[in-house]
C-alpha cells in the first residue's frame, strides 16, 4: 500500500455543474477525513468517517456537499450546483490514531 | 474563529543553522499537536507530533516543544537543509479532528 490516493488530481468545471471526487485511504485505516484548503490558508475540516459511519460534518459544509464511504473503504465527496467559491484544493486523509496521512489532493476550479 | 495561529508567514534561514517555527492555540481542549510539511502540488506530509501530556518530542533533526500554560508550541529543525524548504503547518487535535494554522513558508539559503 503506497498511501492515500485521490482522483482526479485536477478538475475544471462550469458553475452549476456537479462534481464528484474519490479518495482511497490506507487500507488498514478506519478513519477517513475530508478537508478543503484555499490559497494562503491551512486545511479546513469538512467531515469524517469511522468505518462507514459519517460521524461529523463541519458547519462550513453546505447542503450542496455530500460524502459517502460505502463499506468503510473508499470515499466520495460530491458537490452539487458548484459555485465559484467552491474553487479550492480538496484533501483526503486517513488515520488509525492521532496522526493523519494525506493524499495529494484534488484541485477544483469552477469557472 | 482561528483556533490555531502561525503568526510568521515566512522564515528564511541559512543552510546548517537552526529553523524555529512557532504556533499558538486558543482551545484548551486540544490534546495532541502535529507538524506537517507541504511541497507545492502535494498533500501535507506528517513530520512529528506531541501529546498534551508531554513537553518535548524529538525525531532526528526535528524537535517539537509544547508549553501548555502559554498555549504555545514550536518546531526546531537543526541543522536546516535545502530540502527543508517548504510550507510548514501546525495542527491541533480535538476528538481526532485537526485544526490547522495558516502555515509558515521556510526558505533555506545555501
Residues 16-45 of B with CB under 8 A from A: 32, 34, 36, 41-45
Q: What count of CB pairs under 8 Å joins A to B?
A: 56
pLDDT tens per residue, range A60-99 = 788 999 999 998 899 999 999 999 999 999 999 999 999 9
Q: Which of A4, A6, A42 sits opposite B101 (nearest CB)?
A: A42
Of chain A, the percentage scoring pLDDT greater than 70 comes to: 99
**Could you please report the per-residue DSSP string of B32-56?**
EEEEEEE-TTS--EEEEEEETT-SE
pLDDT of res. A11: 98
Confidence of residue A51 (pLDDT cuts 50, 70, 90): very high
Sheet containing A5-7: give its strands across: A5-7, A19-24, A75-79, A65-68
pLDDT tens across A14-31, in order? Answer: 999 999 999 999 999 999
A residues 52-91 near B, CB within 8 Å?
Answer: 56, 91
Burial A33-61 (b: 16+ CB within 10 A, else e): bbbbbeeebbbbbbbbbeeeeeeeeeeeb
CA of B61 vs chain A CAs: smallest distance (Å): 19
Q: What is the reported pLDDT for A13?
A: 98
CB atoms within 10 A of CB A99: 17
* Residue A31 in contact with partner chain B when CB distance is under 8 A: yes
Residue spans of chain B under pLDDT 50: none
H or E segment to which residue A107 belongs:
strand A106-110
Residue A30 cell numbers, joined: 478506519
Which pLDDT score is estimated for B5?
97
Amino acid at each position: 500500500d503506497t498511501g492515500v490516493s485521490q482522483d482526479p488530481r485536477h478538475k475544471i468545471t462550469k458553475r452549476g455543474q456537479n462534481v464528484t471526487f474519490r479518495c482511497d485511504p490506507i487500507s488498514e485505516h478506519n478513519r477517513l477525513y475530508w478537508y478543503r484548503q484555499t490559497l494562503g490558508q491551512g486545511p479546513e475540516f469538512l467531515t469524517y468517517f469511522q468505518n462507514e459511519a459519517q460521524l461529523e460534518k463541519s458547519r462550513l459544509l453546505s447542503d450542496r456537499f455530500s460524502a459517502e464511504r460505502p463499506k468503510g473503504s473508499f470515499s466520495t465527496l460530491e458537490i452539487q450546483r458548484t459555485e465559484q467559491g467552491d474553487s479550492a484544493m480538496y484533501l483526503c486523509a486517513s488515520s488509525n490514531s492521532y496522526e493523519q496521512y494525506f493524499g495529494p489532493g484534488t484541485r477544483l476550479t469552477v469557472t | 474563529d482561528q483556533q490555531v495561529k502561525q503568526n510568521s508567514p515566512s522564515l528564511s534561514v541559512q543552510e546548517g543553522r537552526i529553523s524555529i517555527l512557532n504556533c499558538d492555540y486558543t482551545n484548551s481542549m486540544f490534546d495532541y499537536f502535529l507538524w506537517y510539511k507541504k511541497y507545492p502540488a502535494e498533500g501535507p506530509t506528517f513530520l512529528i507530533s506531541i501529546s498534551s501530556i508531554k513537553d518535548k518530542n524529538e525525531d532526528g533533526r526535528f524537535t517539537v516543544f509544547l508549553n501548555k500554560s502559554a498555549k504555545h508550541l514550536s518546531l526546531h529543525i537543526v541543522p536546516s537543509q535545502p530540502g527543508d524548504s517548504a510550507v510548514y503547518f501546525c495542527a491541533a487535535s480535538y476528538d481526532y479532528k485537526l485544526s490547522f494554522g495558516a502555515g509558515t513558508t521556510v526558505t533555506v539559503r545555501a
